[in-house]
């Protein structure tokens, strides 16, 4: 029997039992669609995080108080308060540094007439927009003279405007709000950034001197954002910042840094590593259902061999070879798994796009998981179809003809 006839018999057998064939392939359908959907969610998250980090600027350095680790124990950013405004001023004088923005953050209650809300209040310098690529929707950012004079001026996010004034498009420039019962004049409104790690929609910015001296009574800053002149000098700038801070903090050669410096590239590599592991885990979990689907195919094919024992005996009696029987049942298994794989790909791609458009999740379908799912489903059909096919091929024609 030629291969074409073998395929024809295999397809006919699958079509005869449509419902059973569908239920047999269902495990593969679920597995393939789950792999594609979960990988799309993972890759979408990775792409979104990457875009947000790259939006910070490729020449950005983030200096935080406290060591990243001490004696093998992770301390975390800001565990030790060691950074000062003087440190920021010293860093700003370096030739490789373009701009510097010290930062202090605290939660505070905002009040406008009979409306109030809790928000993050961040004190920073006039160079913050240049360092963090922040854009304004209306008004202006405070200037260096307002920072030096500890002025009571504020720049607010659009969610702050909406919560206090009832409409995020309200004209609020010149309006006064209270922060910890101290009146501040709104001079600017930030452009909406939506969700994400750089979201400032629920934030209020005030001069760093005002925040430290009038609002929170602080003498140290939490973070110093440093923008290098270009990516070409980012490593040199990082080394110079570290050297400057060690001098500022009077650290001896035997003492460890009491600060941490992280570049945008380091943040990006870490984030991509984490999202890569997450995506692989999601794909691995989903792939388990493919294996379960393969076991389902094997079980159904074994049942099919038992049901068609007399048919196998008749075919062998009229000259069908062991190889022809094996090929027929193996092809049936592959057809079932490939059909499930194709349907699963359609559902997975469509489901991923639906999730991306109907929810806040970012999804990204790429060719690699689609091809992987297709060929893996075919492999499942081969691996889990071999045993039933060999069992069918090894039946004795005389015993098969006697089977009731």
CA angle 316, 320, 325 (to 5 degrees): 90
The pLDDT assigned to 76 comes to: 47
Q: How many C-beta atoms surround the C-beta of residue 286 within 10 A?
A: 22
Q: How far is CA 33 from CA 286, 287, 290, 354, 359, in A?
A: 9, 10, 10, 13, 18
The pLDDT assigned to 6 comes to: 65
pTM of the predicted protein model = 0.64
CA angle 133, 135, 136 (to 5 degrees): 155
Identify the sign of the CA torsion 319, 320, 323, 326. Answer: negative
Per-residue pLDDT of the chain (404 residues; tens, 9 = 90+): 566 666 777 677 777 777 878 888 888 898 899 889 988 988 888 777 777 666 666 688 999 987 654 443 344 444 467 899 999 999 999 999 999 999 999 999 999 999 999 999 999 999 999 998 888 999 999 999 999 999 999 999 999 999 999 888 888 999 999 999 999 999 999 998 765 556 789 999 999 999 999 999 999 999 999 999 887 888 899 999 999 999 999 988 888 998 999 887 777 777 778 888 888 887 788 778 888 888 888 888 888 787 777 777 887 787 777 887 888 888 888 888 888 899 999 999 999 999 888 887 888 888 988 998 888 888 888 888 888 888 887 877 666 666 55
Contacts of 164 (CB under 8 A, 6+ apart): 110, 112, 115, 116, 117, 177
* CA distance from start to end of the chain: 27
Closest by CA position to 382, among listed 339, 330, 328 = 330
Secondary structure of the chain as H, E, C letters: CCHHHHHHHHHHHHHHCHHHHHHHHHHHHHHHHHHHHHHHHHHHHHHHHHHHHHHCCCCEEEEEECCCEECCEECCCCCCCCECHHHHHHHHCCCCEEEEEEEEEEEEEEEECCEEEEEEEEEECCCHHHHHCCCEEEECCCCHHHHHCCCCEEEECHHHHHHHHCCCCCCCCCCEEEECCEEEEEEEEECCCCCCCCCCCCEEEEEHHHHHHHHCCCCCECEEEEEECCHHHHHHHHHHHHHHHHHHCCCCCCCCCCEEEEEHHHHHHHHHHHHHHHHHHHHHHHHHHHHHHHHHHHHHHHHHHHHCHHHHHHHHHCCCCHHHHHHHHHHHHHHHHHHHHHHHHHHHHHHHHHHHHHCCCCCCCCHHHHHHHHHHHHHHHHHHHHHHHHHHHCCCHHHHHHCC
The pLDDT assigned to 124 comes to: 97
Domain ranges of the chain: 3-52+270-402, 81-257
């Amino acid at each position: 029997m030629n291969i074409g006839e073998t395929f024809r018999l295999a397809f006919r057998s699958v079509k005869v039992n449509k419902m059973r064939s569908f239920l047999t392939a269902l495990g593969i359908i679920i597995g393939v669609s789950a792999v594609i959907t979960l990988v799309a969610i993972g890759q979408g998250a990775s792409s979104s995080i990457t875009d947000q980090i790259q939006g910070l600027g490729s020449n950005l350095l983030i200096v935080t108080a406290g060591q990243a680790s001490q004696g093998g124990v992770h301390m975390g950013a800001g565990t030790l308060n060691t950074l000062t405004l003087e440190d920021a001023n010293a860093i700003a004088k370096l030739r490789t540094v373009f701009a510097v923005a010290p930062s202090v953050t605290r939660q505070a209650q905002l009040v406008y007439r009979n409306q109030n809300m809790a928000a993050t209040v961040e004190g920073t310098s006039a160079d913050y927009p240049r360092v963090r690529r922040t854009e304004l929707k209306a008004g202006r950012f405070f200037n260096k003279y307002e920072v030096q004079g500890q002025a009571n001026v504020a720049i607010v996010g659009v969610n702050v405007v909406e919560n206090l004034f009832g409409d995020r498009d309200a004209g609020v420039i010149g309006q006064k709000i209270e922060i910890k019962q101290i009146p501040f004049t709104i001079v600017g409104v930030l452009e909406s950034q939506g969700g994400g790690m750089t979201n400032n929609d629920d934030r209020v910015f005030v001069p760093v001197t005002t925040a430290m001296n009038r609002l929170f009574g602080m003498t140290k800053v939490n973070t110093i954002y440093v923008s290098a002149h270009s990516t070409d000098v980012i490593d040199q700038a990082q080394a110079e910042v570290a050297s400057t801070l060690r001098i500022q903090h009077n650290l001896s050669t035997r003492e460890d840094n009491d600060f941490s410096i992280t570049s945008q590239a380091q943040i990006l590599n870490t984030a991509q590593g984490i999202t890569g592991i997450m995506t692989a885990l999601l794909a691995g979990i989903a792939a388990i259902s493919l294996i379960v689907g393969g076991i389902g195919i094997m079980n159904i094919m074994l049942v099919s061999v038992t049901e068609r024992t007399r048919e196998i005996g008749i075919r062998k009696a009229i000259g069908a070879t062991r190889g022809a029987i094996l090929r027929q049942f193996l092809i049936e298994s592959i057809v079932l798994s490939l059909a499930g794989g194709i349907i699963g790909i359609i559902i997975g791609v469509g489901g991923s796009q639906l999730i991306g458009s109907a929810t806040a999740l970012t999804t990204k379908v790429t060719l690699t998981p689609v091809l992987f799912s297709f060929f893996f489903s075919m492999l499942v059909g081969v691996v889990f179809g071999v045993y039933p096919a060999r069992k069918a091929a090894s039946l004795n024609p005389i015993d098969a003809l006697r089977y009731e």
